[in-house]
Amino acid sequence: MEVEEAKLKVRLLVHTPDPEQVVAKAAKLCYSDSDIDELFKKIGKEDQGKFIDMLVSRGHLSPIEHANYTIAVEGISRACSHELVRHRLASYSQQSQRYVEYKNPRFVVPPDIGKDTKSKKMFLEDCLLQYKKYKSHLEEGKKAEDARFLLPNAMETKIIITMNARELLHVFRLRCCERAQWEIRNMAKEILKLIYPTAPNIFKYAGPSCLRGACSELDQKCPRPIPEIREEFKKMIKS
């Protein structure tokens, strides 16, 4: 049986139409005694960008919660999804190992293992061995919800995520950091690249804390120089 390596795929399914306009209107309401119809007439595109920039710079982020995003992710491991769902201000729908009986398994190979041909082959063979044990229990009539205990953390999963823009900023701050686990960091960067064009003023400063200030992991040694990280995110946004 040939073993497939899972590949990360991220797709934006839907988002709040004109998210920056919605955020600007919600924020303006906090500072105005105008009624809503009158207020909405006062906000132009140019004012919108400046106002959102002010909100983000000052950390007044509650209006940003009105912008929502639904994102589909596949090609991540169960290890990664367990980290992802710790972000509780979100909704998740994940492929179930109770109800899905895997016929064509795919596994996520860590880069440090994948860069060596022999190690990668051994890793995939070990994953396949666990999968075969899983299948043998299914063939003996065991329930998938019990047999799944044998599946490795490397097993591919698929998940649909809905988050508001404020929670996404929080995710990017933590998970784009070089101290984050490599797989969830790669996923977070792909999501950021995907959604940045929809609201460039909201996500202008999205990324690890070192993009604008001090490292939030002060007691840890960063594996990369901060100027190099800043340049990477600058290029990411431009592309």
CA distances in angstroms from 80 to 46, 158, 183, 230, listed in the order given: 39, 11, 6, 25
Q: What is the largest CA-CA distance in the chain?
A: 70
* 175 noted as active-site residue: yes
Coil, helix or strand at residue 178: coil
Catalytic residue (one of 175, 185, 224, 230): 175
Rounded Cα distance, 107 and 115, in Å: 15
* Residue 184 · residue 80 · CB < 8 Å: yes
Helices (H), 96-181: 111-114, 117-139, 144-147, 165-175
Inter-axis angle of helices 165-175 and 182-195, nearest 10 = 140
Mind telling me the catalytic residues?
175
